[in-house]
Amino acid sequence: MKKTILFFLALGALTINGQQCFDYTQYGTTQLQVMIDTTPAGNTVVQQGDIALVRLDSTAMISGITSNEMIYYGFPGLGFDISTFSSPCKKITITGALFGLFVDGDSINNPLGGGAEFAVNGSNYIVHRDTSYNYTIEGDFNTFHFSSTNSIESLCLEACEPTTNCFDFTRYSATQLSQLVWTTPVDNTIVQQGDIALIRIDSSVTNIDIIDTINNGMGYFGFPGLAFDVSSFPSSCKKVSFGGSAYGLIVDNDSITTYPFANANFTATYDTTGLYTLEGDFDVFHFYSTNVINNLCIEACDSTTGIVNHKNVSISIYPNPVTDILTINTPYQEYTSLYIIGMDGRIVRQENSTNSIDVTDLANGVYELMLTNNSGSVNHVTFVKK
């Protein structure tokens, strides 16, 4: 018997269109039940490729295996472990009669109405369930199982593309996202995609509208209601950009009412195309009043220059310190705006494109010069007025 069990543990998964698929037809009903009964709880019963059938407790019982389904009883009884799969982004597709999904120990059993629905767990994965209770699990996870009586018709594993650092609002319907908001406690994450988390910061959100999917956006009401948290982003210098109509931006408790804005930690700009850009070291931002936000993305910037990594642009100024005329050298063909910002974060001077600026009337002290161009790049350099 031991040799038989080892033989089945070594079986390869069935390969279909590049997917690893669990082939339960390799076993008879009695045969698989014996293998389950002789496997201690918490251990692998059989493994095919990177898909392991695991005994979770003593309740597992195989009811029948046919050419098109495997039926089993017991809660939780049996589970599947795909932790040996080499890709950090995994996609499992399961068809059958499946009830009460658990992924990495988290219960995903919150049906949100008919049609294609998503349930979301933190930053790790997305679960899609259709009206026939077929599931797709996609992201970074290792184990899953179901409750009640289940019939598995097919179970396949493949690699997926890692989540980009743009928030895809089109994954949710307005009704679904509203329900997710209402059922999430205050100060908790509602949904997270990559390093962008939508969080609930109070109970005032009254309505969510998913706007035109071409614009990949969301409209919502309530102050402040919702916020975005990017604290999990690995770089200390972040660049967040988004479009829409955002009223009363608040970043890490700093209220921004005019643009551009700059303080010791970050800058905020708004251009004529409706693009907002936050750049620097910050974690959370939100808005008040009615807001529409779309095309929300995050990337790393250079912490020493404030330039997005792929831009590699620099500017120089002279003389520094300066008493009257400050000359500016930049590789930009044309920059749209120049700002002089005091150490308190207030803008003390704004100019259009120019190669020099008279700072005679400025009080002695340290200032920051900020340049923006048509591509949305922002550059900073410090000078001393004496």
Residues 126 and 61 in one domain: yes
Rg (CA), the chain: 28
- Residues 189 and 179: their CA atoms lie apart, in Å, by 13
Residues 93 and 216 in one domain: no
Residues 371 and 352 in one domain: yes
Task: Give me the DSSP letters along 45-60.
Answer: EEEETTEEEEE-STT-
Residues 114 and 189 in one domain: no
Is residue 309, in this structure, part of any structural domain at all? Answer: no
Is residue 95, in this structure, part of any structural domain at all? Answer: yes
Task: Give me the DSSP letters along 321-343.
Answer: SBSSEEEEE-S-S-EEEEEEEET
Q: Which helix (H) or strand (E) element contains residue 210?
A: strand 207-210
Residues 115 and 228 in one domain: no
Q: Is 250 left (phi over 0), alpha (psi -120 to 50) or beta?
A: beta
Residues 95 and 131 in one domain: yes
Q: What are phi and psi of 18, to 5 degrees?
A: 85, 0
Residues 206 and 326 in one domain: no
Q: pLDDT digit of tens for each residue in the chain (386 aa)?
A: 333 333 344 455 566 567 899 998 888 889 999 999 999 999 999 999 999 999 998 888 888 888 878 887 766 788 999 999 988 789 999 988 777 788 888 777 554 333 344 445 444 677 777 777 778 888 888 999 887 777 888 899 999 876 568 888 877 778 778 878 888 888 888 888 878 888 998 888 877 877 765 667 788 776 678 899 999 888 888 999 998 877 788 899 888 877 888 887 888 888 877 888 999 899 999 887 767 888 899 988 764 444 333 333 457 788 988 999 998 887 555 566 777 877 766 778 888 767 888 999 999 888 888 777 655 556 777 888 88
pLDDT at 112: 39
- Residues 153 and 371: their CA atoms lie apart, in Å, by 60
Residues 56 and 109 in one domain: yes
Residues 296 and 365 in one domain: no
pLDDT at 298: 92
Computed from CA positions of residues 37, 38, 44, 49, in that sequence, does the dihedral angle turn out positive or negative?
Answer: negative
Is residue 164, in this structure, part of any structural domain at all? Answer: no
Task: Give me the DSSP letters along 262-313.
Answer: E-SSEEEEE-TTSEEEEEES--EEE--SSEEEEEEEEEEB-TTT--BTTT--
Computed from CA positions of residues 175, 176, 177, 182, in that sequence, does the dihedral angle turn out positive or negative?
Answer: positive
**Tokens 């039940």, residue?**
33
Residue 117's DSSP bridge partners are: 129
- Residues 335 and 304: their CA atoms lie apart, in Å, by 20
Residues ≥6 apart with Cβ < 8 Å to 370: 260, 262, 267, 338, 339, 340, 341, 378, 379, 380
- Residues 193 and 125: their CA atoms lie apart, in Å, by 8
Residues 139 and 177 in one domain: no
Residue 357's DSSP bridge partners are: 326
Domain boundary among 275, 300, 325: 300
Domain boundary among 300, 325, 355: 300
Is residue 150, in this structure, part of any structural domain at all? Answer: yes
Helix spans in 117-257 (H):
174-182
Domain of 276, CATH number, reads: 2.60.120
Is residue 246, in this structure, part of any structural domain at all? Answer: yes
Domain extent for 334: 316-385
Q: How many structural domains is the chain composed of?
A: 3
- Residues 192 and 168: their CA atoms lie apart, in Å, by 10
Domain boundary among 269, 300, 331: 300
Domain of 360, CATH number, reads: 2.60.40.1930
pLDDT at 158: 93
Beta strand 14-16 with 19-21 is antiparallel
- Residues 90 and 28: their CA atoms lie apart, in Å, by 29
Q: What angle do CA 87, 89, 90 make, to 5 degrees?
A: 85
Residues 327 and 356 in one domain: yes
Is residue 6, in this structure, part of any structural domain at all? Answer: yes
Is residue 307, in this structure, part of any structural domain at all? Answer: no
Is residue 195, in this structure, part of any structural domain at all? Answer: yes
The first and second tokens of residue 46, run together, are 């059989």
Please provide the distance, in angstroms rounded to a whole number, between the alpha carbons at the two ends of the chain: 89
Structure-derived torsion over alpha carbons of residues 339, 340, 344, 345, reported in degrees to the nearest 10: 10
pLDDT at 59: 82
Cβ-contact 246, 287 below 8 angstroms: yes
Residues 105 and 34 in one domain: yes
Cβ-contact 77, 59 below 8 angstroms: yes
